[in-house]
Amino acid sequence: MTGKVELSMSEIKKNLHRMKSNKFLRDLCSETNFTIAHFVQPLFTSELVDEKEKIEGLKDNFVMNIEDTIRQIDNDINSGVNNFLLFISSKSKSIDSFNLEYHQKVISSIKDRFRHDINLWTDVCLCSLTSHGHCCLFDAKGSIDLDKTLLEISSIALAYAEAGSDIIAPSDMMDGRTLRIRDTLDKSNFSMTPIVSYSTKFSSNFYGPFRNAANSTPSFGDRKQYQLDYRNRSEAIRASIRCAEEGADMLMVKPGMTSIDLIRDIKSKTGLMVGSYQVSGEYAGLCLSEERGLLNLENSLEETWHVMRRAEAQFIITYGARLAKNIGF
Ligand code: PBG
C-alpha cells in the first residue's frame, strides 16, 4: 500500500467544476473581492476649454472647465466614487518658469466645494507645463537638468498641497523626486500629506489618449530617457524600491495589464501597498472594441479589475471608476 488514493476518471473530470455549481459557492470561493472604495477616477481640468470636450477613445471622460469638473465630481460621488486623480492643464507653457495660478485655483475650487467628501489626488509633472512636453527641464546641451527639474517638481507639489490637494502623485520618473518632494512638504508643514508615487512607470505606447487630453505630447523624441524600459524586470522593481526608500507612502505600477507580473514582488520587497493604473490606451482598447460590437465593456472591465486585484493591486486607477458601482462593486 502506498497510501495513494485511486481516483476514477469521472471524479477527476469534476474536481474543479463541483465548487462552481452555484453562485453562492462561487462567491464563497472568490479569492479576490474589493469595493468601490478601492477605485480612483481620473479627471481632466483645463483652462483651454469652455465647453466640455470628449476624449477620443475614453467613453464618458471629458476635458472640462472648473464648473463642469465640479458637476462631474458631484455625479461621481453619487456613483460611489470618492477618490479622484486630477490632471490640470493651463494656457501658459514655458521652458523654465511656470505659472501655477490656474492650477491652484482648480484645486482650491474643488476642495472648497467638496471638503472632506472627497480625497483629491493631484498628478505632479512638468509635461503639461513645458512648451516641449517633456517631464523635465533641459540644460543648454539638451541633457536633463536634474537639479532644476527637482526644484520645479517639488515647488509644484508644494503649490498643490497649499491649494488643498490631499495626495501628491508624482508621475515624472525623475531620479530623486520623491525624496525632494517629501523634504519640501515636511519643511512647509505638510508632513501629513501622503505621496503616492508612480514608482514603476514604463515608457509605454498606451498613453496616447491621455496625452491628447492633457496636452502633453512631447514635441521631440520620446520619454525613454527617463521612463522605464518594458524589457526590464529588475529595473522595474528597483524603481519602486527606490521610491519606497525615498519616502513614498504608496506605490503604483503602470500600465496596469503590462505590469501585472510586478505588483506582488514590489509589495513584498517594500512592504508598501501597490496600486495599478489602467491607463488611457488600455481603456480605449476596450471602449473602441465595444463600439465595434466586439465585446461588452462592463464585463471586460470587471475582468481586468479582478485580474489586477488577483495580482494584489491595492487600488485601481481607471477611467471607468464611475461605472464600478453599476458593475456591482
Ligand atoms: C504625465 C502622465 C502620463 C500619464 C499619467 N501621468 C503620460 C505620460 O507619462 O506620457 C498617462 C496616463 C494614461 O495614459 O492614462 N507624465
Residue 241 has pLDDT above 60, yes or no: yes
pLDDT at res. 4: 73
- Rounded to the nearest angstrom, the distance between the alpha carbon of 30 and the centre of ligand 1 is 33
Mean pLDDT of the chain: 93
What is the distance in A from the centroid of ligand 1 to the CA of 26? 37
What average pLDDT does range 223-234 have in this prediction?
A: 95
The reported pLDDT for the residue numbered 244 is: 95
Q: What is the dihedral of CA 175, 206, 254, 275, to 10 degrees?
A: 140
Q: Averaged over 291-305, what is the pLDDT?
A: 98
β-strand partners of 122: 86, 168
39 CA → ligand 1 middle, Å: 18
Say yes or no to pLDDT of 269 above 70: yes
- Best residue for ligand 1 mutational test, from 41, 171, 172 (most atoms within 8 Å of Cβ): 171
Our answer on whether the CB atom of 61 is closer than 6 Å to any ligand 1 atom is no
Q: Within a 10 A sphere around the Cβ of 5, how many other Cβ atoms?
A: 6
The Å distance, Cα 210 to ligand 1 centre, comes to 6
Distance CA 96, CA 139 (A): 10
Could you tell me the CA-to-CA distances from 2 to 5, 7, 11 in Å, in that order?
Answer: 9, 14, 20
Ligand 1: residue whose CA is nearest its atom 5: 171
- Nearest ligand 1 atom to the CA of 283 is 15
DSSP, collapsed to helix, strand or coil, labels residue 88 as strand
Which atom from ligand 1 is nearest to the alpha carbon of 319? 15
Tell me what the mean pLDDT of segment 48-52 comes to: 96
Residues forming the active site: 201, 254
pLDDT for 58 equals 97
Render pLDDT for 111-168 as a digit per residue (tens, 0 to 9).
999 999 999 999 999 999 999 999 999 999 999 999 999 999 999 999 999 999 999 9
Decide: 135 in ligand 1 pocket, CB within 6 A. yes
Residue 230: count of CB within 10 angstroms of its CB: 14
- pLDDT band of residue 2 (cuts 50, 70, 90) is low
Provide the residue type at 2 as one letter: T
Whole-number percent of the chain with pLDDT over 70: 96
Ligand 1 contact, 210 CB (< 6 A): yes
> Rounded to the nearest whole angstrom, what is the distance from the C-alpha of residue 312 to the centroid of ligand 1?
22
Nearest CA, atom 6, ligand 1: 171
Confidence grade of residue 197 (pLDDT, cut at 50, 70, 90): very high
Predicted confidence (pLDDT) at residue 74 exceeds the cutoff of 90: yes
Q: Cα(243)–Cα(246) distance, rounded to whole angstroms?
A: 5
CA–centroid distance, residue 214 to ligand 1 (Å):
8
> By the 8 A CB rule, do 122 and 167 touch?
yes
Q: Is the CB of 283 under 6 A from ligand 1?
A: no
How many CA atoms are closer than 13 Å to the CA of 283, on its beta-carbon side?
28
Model pLDDT, residue 9: 64
List the grid coordinates of 315: 487600488
- Quick one: which atom of ligand 1 is closest to the CA of 201? 9
Q: How far apart are CA 237 and CA 262, in angstroms?
A: 7
Weakest mean pLDDT among 12-16, 200-204, 294-298: 12-16
The mean-pLDDT minimum among 18-22, 180-184, 279-283 falls in 18-22
Is 278 in a helix, a strand, or coil? Answer: strand
Q: What is the dihedral of CA 73, 77, 83, 85, to 10 degrees?
A: -20
In angstroms, the CA 222 to CA 205 distance is 10
Better-scored residue on pLDDT, 12 or 206: 206
More confident residue, 22 or 194: 194
Residue 1 has pLDDT above 60, yes or no: no
Q: Would you state the pLDDT for residue 5?
A: 72
Q: What is the pLDDT of residue 174?
A: 93
Among 41, 123, 205, 207, which residue has the most ligand 1 atoms within 8 Å of its CB, making it the best to mutate?
Answer: 207
Residue 36 vs residues 190, 247, 320, 324: alpha-carbon distances, Å:
28, 27, 11, 6
pLDDT for position 33: 78
Residues 6+ positions from 87 with CB-CB distance below 8 Å: 42, 43, 44, 45, 123, 128, 210, 213, 214
> Mean pLDDT across the stretch 286-307?
98
Summarize the confidence of residues 250-261 as an average pLDDT: 97
| CB 203 near ligand 1, within 6 Å | no
Q: How confident is the model at residue 309 (pLDDT cuts 50, 70, 90)?
A: very high
